[in-house]
Amino acid sequence: MVLKLAVAQQKLLEYDKLGYIIYQLDESIFDARQKVETTWSPKRKNHLIPKTPFKLNKMQAVMGAISCYHSNFKFIVKGSYFNAEDTIHFLTKLRNFHRHKRLCIFWDNASIHVGKKVTAWLLTQRNMVSVENPEYSPEFNGIETLWAYAKKRFRLLLT
């Protein structure tokens, strides 16, 4: 794994020197649905589950990309899980935002990133490349820190 990380870091440095805008991309789930793992109540009494203060009784998926050097954060929100078509749609929006600039996408090896459809689409794109984060090392992708912070704030809103 250390070797894979070194290779990924080397690729990112090379793309940075070539003037690519490096985006760290990932998706996350924000779920406001009630989750009850265990509960109890006195005999012959109904279980009482506290309600959230919001009428957010659903899940939202967010795909986002952050570029630390250029202070950019782009995202899309969907009411269900993302697929390859959504990834291509998001990358197209990102590319259109940066017309005539070179982009490097740093992401994990999820199937919606490295599957056949997305890989084939990326091969047709001029000025856009991708670098995979080694598996089981989300700490090297800065957007993971953003998701952790956002989820912490989101949970505080629900309590």
Q: Any idea what the CATH number is for the domain that residue 92 is in?
A: 3.30.420.10
**Residue 114: per-residue pLDDT:** 92
**Residue 36: per-residue pLDDT:** 54
66 near 142, Cβ under 8 Å?
yes
Summarize pLDDT for 20-63 with one digit per residue, the tens.
999 999 999 988 765 555 556 666 666 555 555 555 557 889 99
59 near 49, Cβ under 8 Å?
no
In a domain, 146, yes or no: yes
In a domain, 159, yes or no: no
Boundaries of domain holding 130: 8-32+54-153
Q: Characterise 71 by phi-psi region: left (phi > 0), alpha (psi -120 to 50), beta (else).
A: left
Tell me the C-alpha distance between 25 and 66, whole Å.
7
In a domain, 43, yes or no: no
Could you give the number of structural domains in the chain?
Answer: 1
In a domain, 40, yes or no: no
Say yes or no to pLDDT of 107 above 70.
yes
| pTM, two decimal places | 0.81
Tell me the C-alpha distance between 122 and 58, whole Å.
33
Average pLDDT estimate for 81-98 = 96
